[in-house]
A and B are shown apart, each in its own frame.
Chain A
Amino acid sequence: MRIIGFVCRDSALPAVEHAASKEDPYPSFITLVEMPCTGRVDVVHILRAFREGADAVFVAGCLEGNCKYQYGNIEARKRVTLTKSLLQAAGLEPERLEMFNLASNQGWRFPEIVQEMVSRVERLGPNPIGKVKT
C-alpha cells in the first residue's frame, strides 16, 4: 500500500510530528510531502502521485479560517474537489483523494486521518493504474 500526503508546513506537519513523537507511529507506507501551504498543492501534483502509483492521496492543511495565508486551505479544498472530478472522469474512485483540516496541536487527529485513508484503500483495492513507466 502506498499513500502520499501533502501536508502544510505550519499546521499539519507539526501535528504529524507531534503525533509521531508519541507512542503512535504512522504506518511507514505513508509518506509526506511538505508544502509551504496547502494552497501550493496543484492538480498536477495530485494526479502525478496517482500516476506514479499512489493508492491514495490526502491533503492536510490548517483549520478553515486559521490559514497563515488567509485562505490557502480553502483554495486547496477547491482544487481537491476539482481533482476528484478529474479522477472520476479517468475511471478512478474519487474517494482515493481527500482533504483534511487540522490544527498544529491536534496530533490526535492524524491517526484518524491515516485510519480513514487506509480503510478506504482496503475497500477499493490497489491503484489500478499501477506505476506508469516514463
Chain B
Amino acid sequence: MTEKSPPAHGPIGSPEGVGVFICSCGGIISRKIDLQRLRALAAAYPNVRDVVSFDQCCQGPAMGEIRLSLMAGDIDRFVVVGCSARTASDRFEQLAESAGICPDLVTFSNLLDLCAAYSKPEAQSKAEHMLRTSLKRSTMLQITPRSEEERLMTVLVIGNGPSAITASRSLLDEGLSVVVVNPTQRLEESDHQSVIPLEGGALEQMTKAAGDRFRVLDGTEVLSFTGHPGHFLVTVSKGREKWEEASGAIIIALDKVGSEGLMSSYLPGTITQEELEAKLKALEKLPKNIVMVAMDEDETAERSPMSTHDAVHHSMHAKGLSSSSSVTVIAREFYAFGQCEVGYRKAQEMGVRFIRSEKIPAVDEGSLIVNDIHTGYDIRIPADMIVIDNRTQSFGTKKVAKAFSLPLAVDGTMARANPKSRPVATHLPGIFLCGSASEMNLGAGPTMSAKAAASRAASLLHSRIMSGGNVAEVDPKRCSSCMTCVRTCPFHAPRIGKEGKAEVDIALCQGCGMCAASCPSKAIQVYSWRDDQIIAEISSVLEDEGQ
C-alpha cells in the first residue's frame, strides 16, 4: 500500500472527519465517568462526524459497527476512548487498515488506567480534558508514508559452529535458503556448550539434503552491510577477494572457541569442568582432595555466571559420588540463578566448601594457596585434582559488531535488544543474535537461542514487511548537510544523498525522533510527532489547565 502522504514539512491540512468511539469497558469506565457528557463534548468538537459509545469496543459486534462507520466514507481518522494503546493498538490499527484508513491516524485515550484512581468529579474533568487533548492530537495527524518491501528468501548466517548449524537447519526446514559466512576453515560440529548436541555428520547430511539452498563460505569475513529487513547487501571478503551477498535477514551465530586460559599455569594434572563431567558420568573413582577454580585468568574479565554454575553442580555430584572426598570451590563471586540456587544450598549441606578469592590461587607442592576474601588470610588447601573452567573465549564478535555498528555488552559479547522481551534480537531490525555471540543466556543455551533466532528470521520473511509509518523526513531546503543526523541515528537511516542533502531511508527508520531533536537546522520532522504538533499539544494541555 503506497498512500499519498503529504510532506512532513508542509502545512497540516484539516481532517475530512473524525470518528470517536467511546468504550465503557464493560462498565468499568462508565462507573466513574458520564459517557453521555463525553459524547456531547466530542460531538461539539470541530470536524467530528461520528460519536458512538459501546459497552466493549474491542468485541466483535462493536468492531463490526465501527468498521461500517469507517467505511461510510466521511471519516479519515478516529479516536478510541478506552484503554491504553499498548492493549488496543494492534486490533484497531488492523481494523483501520482493513477499512482503508491509515493506521497511524488512530489515536488512543487511556481513560481506563489514567482516570481509575480519581474520585467521580475529578475523574470526569480529567476524562474530558484527556478527550479534548486526544481530539486535538487526532485532528493534527497526517497520513504517513508506507510501502511494502520486497523479501529475499535467503538468510545470511555468520557463524563457526553448532549454533550456525542449528540455525541453518531450522531455516532450511522453514523453506528458506541459507548462506553461512564462516570465518574459520571448517564449521565445528559440536562443543561442550550445546544443550542438545548435534549428532555426528549432521552438517554433511544437511548439505546433501538441501542442495543449492545451503552454501557454506569457509574462511570468509563480513566487512560491512547496507539495506534493510527483506533486502540486505552484505560485503563479504575472502583474502583479497570481495563480493556482496544478498539476503532477507541476518543471524549472527558465532560460538566460543577453545583457549588456553588457566591451563598454562596449572599443568600437569589439571582437568576442565567438561572432562570432570565425563568422569562423573562414567562413575570413575575420584581422588581425596578436589579443588575447583571457577575463575578467569584475567582479573578484569566480566565474571561469568556459567562458570560457577558448572562448578556448583559438579561439586554436588562429585560429593555424591565419593562422600569421603573433600571438595572445594574457589571463585571471585558465586552466582546461583534459578534452580542453581537449590543446588548451591544442597552442595553446602553436603559439605562442599566455597571460598571467595580475588586472586588466582598459587600452586605449591600438591596444594593450592588461596587468599580468602573475608579474612584476608592465605589458606593452604591440599589438591589431588584441580578442575578449571572450560577453556573458551568468544570468537570474532568484535569484528562482526564493528561491521554492523552494533554495541558490545560489558563482557565483550554482543548486546541484545532487550534481555527479556527480545532475547535474540539486536538493536537493528532484521538482524538476529544467537549462540555465545550474545550475552549470557542462562537456562536456554546456545542451541535453543539458535532455534529462536532462526524462527524470528523465518517469521520476518514469511510475512509482509511494511516500512514507513511514523518516520523522519528531511526538508532539503533547510538541510545544511552537517551530518548530525547521520551520526546520531542508531539505525543508520539518514545518509547524505545525491543532492548533497540528508535523506532518511524509511525502511530503516524506527521513528524515535532523535535526529529531529538533534538537527541544528530543524530540517527534520517526524510524522505524527512534528514539532508543530507537539507544541500544539503542549499549548492545548496548558490552556485547558489554566481554565
Please pick, from B126, B407, B531, the residue contacting A28 in the complex, using a CB distance under 8 A.
Answer: B126
A73→B418 CA distance, assembly (Å): 15
A21 to B510, Cβ gap below 8 A?
no
Residues of B within 8 A of A52 (CB): 538-539, 542-543
Q: How far is the CB of B278 from chain A (nearest CB, A)?
A: 39
With known contacts A39-B517, A69-B512, A70-B407, A21–B490 Cβ distance under 8 A:
no
A94 at the interface (CB under 8 A from B): no
A13 to B: closest C-beta gap in Å: 8
B517 touches A40 (CB 8 A): yes
On whether the beta carbons of A37 and B513 are closer than 8 Å, the reply is yes
Contacts of B495 in A (CB 8 A): none
- Smallest beta-carbon distance A118→chain B, Å: 15
B118: A residues at CB distance < 8 A: 25, 28
Q: Which of B1-9, B107-115, B222-230 contacts A (4 or more CB under 8 A)?
A: B107-115
The one of B117, B122, B488 in contact with A21, judged by C-beta atoms closer than 8 angstroms, is: B117
Question: How many B residues are at the interface, by size bracket?
Answer: 35 or more
Q: Which of A40, A45, A69 contacts B535 (CB 8 A)?
A: A45
Chain A minimum-CB-distance residue to B491: A69
Contact indicator A25/B538 (Cβ below 8 Å): no
- Which of B85, B114, B514, B535 meets A20, CB within 8 Å? B114
A20 touching B537, Cβ below 8 Å: no
- Is B511 interfacial (CB 8 A cutoff)? yes
Query: Are A48 and B535 in touch, CB under 8 angstroms?
Result: yes
Cβ–Cβ < 8 Å partners of B537 in chain A: 33
Residue B470, interface by CB 8 Å: yes
Interface core residue of A28, A29, A48 (most chain B CB under 10 Å): A28
Residue of B nearest to A22 (CB): B117
Task: Tell me, rounded to whole Å, the shortest Cβ–Cβ distance linking A79 to chain B.
Answer: 7
- How far, in Å, is B89 (CB) from chain A's closest CB? 10
B502 within 8 A of A: no
A17-B84, A40-B529, A44-B531 known; A4-B538 Cβ under 8 A: yes
Return the CB mask of B381-424 against A: 1 if under 8 Å, else 0: 00000000000000000000000000100000000011000000
Q: Which residue of A lies closest to B110 (CB)?
A: A17
Minimum distance in angstroms from A104 CB to a CB of chain B = 9
Known A41-B517, A44-B535, A75-B518; judge A14-B86 contact (CB<8 A).
yes
B105–chain A nearest beta-carbon distance, Å: 16
Q: Which residues of B contact A69 (CB under 8 A)?
A: 427, 490-491, 510, 512, 514
- Determine the residue in chain A with the shortest Cβ distance to B407: A70
Within 8 A of B (CB), among A67-108: 68-72, 75, 79
Q: Does B201 have its Cβ within 8 Å of any Cβ on chain A?
A: no
Q: Please, how many angstroms separate the alpha-carbon atoms of A75 and B514 in the complex?
A: 7
Tell yes or no: A112 within 8 A of B by CB: no
Asked if A31 lies at the interface with its beta carbon under 8 angstroms from chain B, I say yes
Q: Which residues of A contact B (CB under 8 A)?
A: 2, 4, 9, 14, 16-18, 20-25, 28-29, 31, 33, 35-37, 39-42, 44-45, 48-49, 52-54, 66, 68-72, 75, 79, 131
A and B contact pairs by CB, cutoff 8 A, 14 listed: A20-B117, A22-B117, A31-B129, A31-B133, A36-B529, A39-B514, A40-B514, A40-B534, A42-B516, A44-B531, A52-B543, A68-B418, A72-B512, A131-B546
- Closest 4 interchain pairs by CB? A40-B513, A25-B117, A39-B514, A69-B512
